[in-house]
Structure 1
Amino acid sequence: MSAMTDEEQKEQFKSFAKSYVLPIVAGILIALCAFFGWEWYQKRHTVNAANLTVQYQNLLNQSEAAAEDENAYKKIMADGNKIVADSPNTVQALQAQLLMAKLAFDKKDYATANKILSAAQNVKIEDEGLIAIAKLHLAYTQIAQNQLDTALKTLDGIKVDAFTPSVSEAKGDIYAAQNKTEDAKKAYQQAWDVLVKRQQPRELLQIKLANLGVLVEDPKIETPVLTPTQQMPASSPSES
């Protein structure tokens, strides 16, 4: 085979560049664009989350005044609704809805609280605990409006184990309001049994049980207090 001329070698290199080098470079550029694009998105997402947190904190700071000042109440409702409208599927939006619903509930404006919490059920976030809190608050708002059967259905939608005692207690409240004494006793007892296992006393629940003629003992709470035999011996003079 004869050696290639300089011109032939140049043409071969050009052919190689077209077939291999350019696609490789293009792939690298695409990868870099994707990386820096992701970095930009992450930074933007972090900044947005921080801004939303500040906005929600401002709502909290206004909430005490809103309880007594009608103008402050209207402002906090407007600011809260803006957070929800601008960033609907965020933790801060759901927190804002919970705060607004509480303020409305405290004013005995149950219809407004119900409307806010019903809308909160559509928020798409991965925080199951926060969603469960929203459902629990909605159930109690429905109880306040005497929507007892609807409240039971709302409570059935709470599947987070951590809320089992609260759900059972709320169901007991509903059954008590419906004069279903045995069902109320059973629901309260279920709540109490879980709390005893968790060593979490709940005095109000104990009172509810007592009002239905059910006496329960206080849960045994382990304390870090040392017994005399476990206490460290006093240091001797030679050790001081």
Structure 2
Amino acid sequence: MNALTEEEQLNNLKSLTKKYGSAAISGVLVALIAFFGWSYWQKKQLHRSQNETARVQQLMDQAQSMAGDAKAYAQLAPLADTVIKKDLNSAQAIQAQFVMAKVAFDQGDYAAAERELKKVQNIKIDDEGLLQLVNLRLAYAQTAQKKYDDALKTLDLITVPAFKASADEARGDIFVAKNDIANAKKAYQSAWDVSIARKQERQILQIKLESVGVLVDDPNIERPILKTQVDES
């Protein structure tokens, strides 16, 4: 572990932001690569109404085609509402809210993203994975609004072991946003340990660890992929 002062560590975070974009280190500015688990949805066998599944796919397609359009949220809302009203306690309802939350988030309307996800936060569905994704994305939406304590409480709802690394990494992002380096280190280290054990993708997490002054050894890489340098300008 590097013996960096807290000020030096925070400077590293600022430098990392300039080099890789703010998305690399903070839930406040997260870029949300695979933000709503599209691949997860595609792998699930949704046995409910084929019509509602088709509507979700239509909603996804329209959202992608309207990327960057300021009117996207308002125009897509009626279609999403149709899916939700058909059966709130369904995987399709969750996916519809994922789409709407992503559209809102992309437009910088984090409060709307939070509202969309809260609509399905407590639905009754036999799919823990989807519900864990709801809470994970909700925590990021809350973090983007600087509702750090709310976000941490939301992450406490994530109890399925398969999501532990993602939840711990999100905690680290929140602590970074709070300038709480000590707890950020602990959260990122926990996420790293789980990821290593499961042989999961971890390059971005490694960058985050280094940004708070922790050098870690990846068994598959001779040296950490990045050694951050403080931008003295």
- What is aligned with 1:151? 151
Paired position in structure 2 for 1:131: 131
Alpha-carbon distance in structure 2 between the residues aligned to 1:69 and 1:173: 29
Deviation per CA, 1:14-64, whole angstroms, max 9, x where unpaired?
Answer: xxxxxxxxxxxxxxxxxxxxxxxxxxxxxxxx6x61111111111111111
Using a 3 Å threshold, how does the CA distance of structure 1 residues 107 and 72 change in structure 2: closer, same or farther?
Answer: closer
| 1:96-107 correspondence runs (5 A) | 96-107=96-107
- Provide closer, same or farther for how the CA distance between residues 73 and 174 of structure 1 changes in structure 2, counting only shifts above 3 A: closer
Give the number of equivalent residue pairs. Answer: 176
Q: Distance between the aligned counterparts of 2:119 and 2:160, measured in 1? A: 20
Check whether the contact 1:105–1:141 (CA below 8 A) recurs between aligned residues.
yes
Structure with larger RCO (C-alpha < 8 A, sep 6+): 2
Which residue of structure 1 aligns with residue 29 of structure 2?
none
Alpha-carbon distance between aligned partners in 2 of 1:68 and 1:175, rounded to the nearest angstrom: 30
What TM-score, normalized to structure 1? 0.69
1:163 counterpart residue number: 163
Q: Distance in 1 between matches of 2:68 and 2:123?
A: 29
Give the alignment's Cα RMSD to 1 decimal. 1.7
Larger Rg: 1
In structure 1, runs of 5+ residues without a counterpart are 1-45, 222-240
Whether the 8 Å CA contact 1:201–1:218 is kept in 2: the answer is no
2:28 aligned partner = none
Aligned partners of 2:59 and 2:79 also within 8 Å? yes
User: How far is 1:88 from its partner?
Assistant: 0.8
Q: Given the superposition, is the C-alpha separation of residues 176 and 71 from structure 1 closer, same or farther in structure 2, using an over 3 Å criterion? A: closer
- Residue ranges of structure 2 left out of the alignment (5+ in a row): 1-46, 222-233
57-66 or 143-152, which deviates more: 57-66
* Residue 54 (str. 1) matches residue 49 (str. 2): no
Asked if the contact 2:100–2:113 (Cα under 8 Å) also holds between the matched residues in 1, the reply is yes
Q: Greater CA deviation, 171-180 or 103-112?
A: 171-180
Corresponding position of 1:172:
172
Deviations 1:48-85 (A, max 9, x none): 61111111111111111222334444232210112112
Aligned residues of 1:176 and 1:184 also touching (Cα < 8 A):
yes
Give the Cα–Cα distance (whole angstroms) in 2 for the partners of residues 82 and 203 of structure 1: 40
Contact 1:67 1:73 in 2 (8 A): no
Q: Which residue number in structure 1 is paired with residue 189 of structure 2? A: 189
What is the rounded CA distance, in whole Å, between the counterparts of 1:61 and 1:91 in structure 2?
18
Q: Is the 8 A contact 2:52 2:83 kept in 1?
A: yes
Which amino acid in the other structure matches residue 170 of structure 1?
A: A
Query: Which residue of structure 2 lines up, in the alignment, with residue 198 of structure 1?
Result: 198
